[in-house]
Amino acid sequence: MIRALSSLLHLSNTRSFHIALGLTLLLLAIGAGWFTASHSSATEARLIPAPALDEPMRQAAESEVTVLAGGCFWGVQGVFQHVVGVTSAVSGYAGGDRATAEYETVSTGSTGHAESVKITFDPNKISYGQILQIYFSVAHDPTQLNRQGPDYGPQYRSAIFPASDEQARIAKAYIAQLNQVHVFNAPIVTRIEPGRSFYPAEDYHQDFLTRNAGYPYIVINDLPKIEALKKLFSDRYQTDPVLVLAGRTK
């Protein structure tokens, strides 16, 4: 416990507060019924229609990349690390400048950055549209404006940072499609922000869900997303996550 709490000193006051609060309340949550209510990711995850417009599955020599933001990057990274066809999912920052791409600074909410995940995938195994289907179904709630679960601020916004005009076109069409059929109880607020650079986050944020699966924040907010992925996209789920830090010399 002391080692776990010591590692949290690397985190911002906001995130540390949520985890510390979770440590205090977790034992009370089940009895009070709050634990179930807090599992918004599990109760609101749903299998939504596939995009009508998508890139064709193709034989391609190179991988494809996209950057997605949907609240705390711990959970978004954790989801896509378990998706078949994803070869890398790196937590980081997008939307602001290189000089402010640092966790404590981004956490002020004044940098333009969003906590994001750079997803590299094999288009022979999974399409960009299928990536977006998982993103909207499982990884986050796209109707929450400048927040996600317990985290508030523009750094937790729902945003897509397309790597090409084609990705931007598919994302825009998909959002319009989902809004038209009222898949969600409120309009999608996801922003499409092209032409933004991505900057990897600090190592202590990488693979956080896998390395800290017992943290109350992860248990309450993120593990239900993994279970939803397994249930709703069983053919897309892989048991062993594709980790960022795997193989690095400690």
Annotation says 72 is catalytic: yes
Does the residue 237 lie in any domain? no
Does the residue 243 lie in any domain? no
Does the residue 239 lie in any domain? no
CA distances from 105 to 1, 98, 161, 199, 208 (A): 28, 11, 20, 13, 19
Which tokens belong to 87? 């070869």
pLDDT category, 174, cuts 50, 70, 90?
Answer: very high
Mean pLDDT of 152-180: 98
One-letter amino acid identity for 24? T
Does the residue 247 lie in any domain? no
- Give the CATH number of the domain where residue 60 resides: 3.30.1060.10
Which tokens belong to 91? 């937590």
Active-site annotation holder among 42, 72, 79, 244? 72
Domains in the chain, number: 1
Spatial separation of the C-alpha atoms in residues 116 and 119, rounded to whole Å = 9
Task: Please work out, in degrees rounded to the nearest 5, the angle formed at the alpha carbon of residue 133 by the alpha carbons of 129 and 136.
Answer: 130
| DSSP code string of the chain | -HHHHHHGGGS-HHHHHHHHHHHHHHHHHHHHTHHHHH-HHHHH---PPPPSS-PPP---SS-EEEEEEES-HHHHHHHHTTBTTEEEEEEEEESS-GGG-SHHHHTTT-SS-EEEEEEEE-TTT--HHHHHHHIIIII--TT-TTEETTEESGGG-EEEE-SSHHHHHHHHHHHHHHHHTT-SSS----EE-TT--EEEPPGGGTTHHHHTTTSHHHHHHTHHHHHHHHHHTTTTB-SS---SSTT---
- Res 24: pLDDT: 47
State the chain's mean pLDDT as an integer. Answer: 86
73-80 and 223-232 helices, crossing angle to 10°: 30
Mean pLDDT of 215-221: 97
Does the residue 36 lie in any domain? yes
Does the residue 98 lie in any domain? yes
- Res 214: pLDDT: 97
Which domain, by its residues, includes 119? 2-232
- Res 31: pLDDT: 40
Q: How many CB atoms lie within 10 A of CB 12?
A: 15
Mean pLDDT of 65-72: 98
Does the residue 242 lie in any domain? no
Q: Summarize pLDDT for 3-51 with one digit per residue, the tens.
A: 233 334 344 445 554 445 444 444 434 343 333 333 344 447 889 999 9
Residue 193 has pLDDT above 60, yes or no: yes
Mean pLDDT of 212-217: 97
The least confident of 9-18, 131-140, 189-198, 212-221 is 9-18
Does the residue 244 lie in any domain? no
Mean pLDDT of 180-194: 97
* Paired sense of beta strands 114-121 and 64-70, if any: antiparallel
Residue 176 has pLDDT above 70, yes or no: yes
pLDDT category, 234, cuts 50, 70, 90?
Answer: very high
pLDDT category, 247, cuts 50, 70, 90?
Answer: low
Name the more confident of 46 and 96: 96
- Res 57: pLDDT: 76
- Res 56: pLDDT: 85
